[in-house]
A and B are shown apart, each in its own frame.
Chain A
Amino acid sequence: MSKSSPTFSKGGIHPRESKELTEHLPIEAMPPPEEVDILLLQHFGSPCRVLVDKKATVIEGETIGVVDAGLGASVHSSVSGTVKSIGASPHPVRVEAPSVTIRRDPQAEPKVFTPSEWEHFSPEELLEKIRNAGLVGLGGAGFPTHLKLSPPPGTRLDKLILNAAECEPYLNCDNRTMIEFPHEILTGARIILRILGIKECHIGIENNKQEAIWVLSRAAAESTAPDCKISVNPLMVKYPQGSEKQLIQTITGRRVPYPGLPFDVGVMVINVGTAKTIHDAVVLEKPLYERVVTISGRAIARPANLMVRIGTRLSDIVTFLGGTMDNLARIVVGGPMMGFSIPTTDLPVMKTTSGVLFLSDDEIDSRPHGPCIRCGKCVEVCSMGLSPNEVGIYVEAGRARDTAQFGVFECFECGACAFVCPAKRPLVQFTRLAKAKARK
């Protein structure tokens, strides 16, 4: 089956998947922690303006931060309790970001959401609900969803693609969401189709998630949606299949030219987990204040797929799961290919936290790198047709600013080149440096 399934045309790698650690574990609700640190900056864009004062009482789902201007999405309290402090918390990318710490009231009743009919809302009203719920893309970059669903006027779209490839090793949050919430995802897809005024949706799933493919295909066949066509597209297992451009090419044959965006070729790509939160935001009017996080790696006592309140500190998760092993060598937020390693477990879960990996010393490779032996493997696996080896040599020679000719800005840092490099060269790091210097 996997042989005949489509995939992108060039490059790609097959890293050890390690999905088996958590793929059959149902999503488990982690009890809310005593305190949460809610970051006011969870995505690209501007930080939120705080709406609450110290010592104020907040309830679960209450808006505590809004964005006045520019890119952004509002944030909500994930617990009921009192504001303990307004300060800063560690952030996986920016080192530190402003945050609100809330102490939970153990007596508070959990909030209950009742579903409502969504079909009679206009696209504008649907978008407003999504904006109010503070949705951002759950796939990684965290682009605010209401902005993504408002393409510039004159944009002609004809296809929605739900990105369910989940090609990063270890991660299963999308996989479990598909298995456990297929109807919510399909409703989310129909809401997006309504907003965009189009009728065709493809769900691209890698072949290593047979159960999700089966569950979603059955749900799609049963659903009675006369005005739209939703299909499940099984894809070959190959990293980075979940990259937007590679996914669009696989499913539609269209190529998004740099520096274009998917809507330039008539396509909108939304992460499958985001579609579920769109359902929650519209049908339940539930803000995005909890999410599924895969906690995995061979150095955590108990791997799990957890429903976690945004703002939960990783240290609380570690305690809940029984601690870490002695051979813990690296903690990674996100997937192992593109995630960020972090120096502290004080870091809170964000809207974009798809996974937290506790990797043991035999899972990582921290050997020092050597000179390029020109084996060409990085060129072979680059799905963008670039030459990472040349970028690396230029950077080492102090000529990083001359690397635009190699198309460094087309690189989306999937890390396939650094994965295969036998000399263990930090090719992603070289490319980031090259981008920074060449931009000036």
Chain B
Amino acid sequence: MIPPAWSVSISPHLKSTESVEKIMWTVVACLIPSLILSVFVFGLRALIIAAISTASCVAVEAATQKLLKRPVTVRDGSAVITGLLLAFCIPPGVPLWMPIPGAIMAIYVAKHLLGGIGFNIFNPALIGRAFLVATFPVAMTSAWLAPIHDAAVFGSLGGIDAVSTATPLYVLKHYGMNAVIERFGAPSTLYWDFFVGWRPGCIGETSALLLTLGGLYLMLRRYISWHIPVATVLSVGFFSWVFGGEKLFTGDPVLAVLSGGVILGAFFMATDYVTSPNGNAAKLVFGAGVGALTVLIRLKGGYPEGVCYAILLMNPLSPALEGWFKPKRFAPPKGATT
């Protein structure tokens, strides 16, 4: 008998049209507007660093998977996201080779040595950044570029000698709010510039507007929920307001949220599926924790910025948070541990 040409498999026989690839490439698409803006803000150099970072993440992933004799899955877009996010959280003025060791750390160590996609405990891009901050602290905390205010955008490749500025958080931490206003303008223009993205900072973190739009699109597609971003932003705002000023309840929550990597972290890094909890209650606690640790590190730590370490510190808590906030069972047996 000729074997039938149709397939036999387990139910359900219908599947949604979603796929890992679709989700990942949508996230990539949501990051692109911020990247384009950063070219206008910092010059072509931002794009070159992002390209090097992305290419090295993809290359490291392919090489790692070959080395570990696993299927090569670079087409799923997850390494591209890691590469972009790594570039997004390093300063635009760093040497061009700088993303490469970050990519090796992120993809080889933080992702594949811990099991590959779905199994890593820490956000790979943030591990890459943390590694770079630890090993090249001077470049990673001082290679800032001032925003370009003229049309010579594409002529400017920037460079080490272009380092000429300090980030708002650095100024705030060391010189206080008055110095920030003196340097970056009165609160009204300052808020607007920060919201749009016209300020010094890491490559992809400056524009709250574009990052929020990208995040909202991910919510619209139901790829992420509002819980982690909203909890993170509210938590940063709240704790900055309470503890960020010279006296209690005098901090500037708006500036705190708009500066540094809060928006980037809240929408694109803290929401990473693998390293954040499932369940809405667990997500709210996770986001609140990220926000609280960010403010703690900003105010008391050695760095002016804290989002990266705040998320990395919350990542390993995800399984515990899921354990504490399990979904409510429909009607479990009496005495069941739910």
Contacts and interface: CB of A to CB of B under 8 A. Distances in A.
Interface string A357-385: 10100011111001111111101101111
Per DSSP, chain B at the interface is loop
Q: Determine the interface band of chain B, counting residues with CB < 8 A from chain A.
A: 35 or more
Interface string A374-415: 111101101111110100000000000000010100100101
B28 interface: no
Contact of A370 (B11, B14, B20): B20
B64 to A, nearest CB: 15
A148 interface: no
A15 B329 contact: no
B8 A341 contact: yes
A113 interface: no
B10 interface: yes
Interface string B19-43: 1101100000000000000000000
B278 A330 contact: no
Contact of B332 (A258, A331, A367): A258
Nearest to A345: B4
B334 A330 contact: no
Interface stretch (A115-123, A128-136, A209-217, A418-426): A418-426
Given A328-B5, A382-B327, A407-B329, A371 B116 contact: yes
Contact of A343 (B4, B14, B16, B119): B4
Interface residues of A, number: 67
A16 interface: yes
Contacts of B333: 257-259
Contacts of B188: none
Per DSSP, chain A at the interface is loop
Contacts of B332: 257-258, 407, 410
Contact of A419 (B5, B15, B76, B117): B15
Given A328-B5, A371-B116, A376-B273, A418 B12 contact: yes
Contacts of A10: 328, 330
Contact of A374 (B15, B116, B273, B329): B273
Contacts of A370: 20, 73, 76, 117-118
B336 A374 contact: no
A259 B334 CA distance: 9
Interface stretch (A32-40, A102-110, A287-295, A332-340): A332-340
Interface string A248-276: 01000001111100000000000000000
Nearest to A265: B331
A341 B7 contact: yes
A245 interface: yes
B278 A423 contact: no
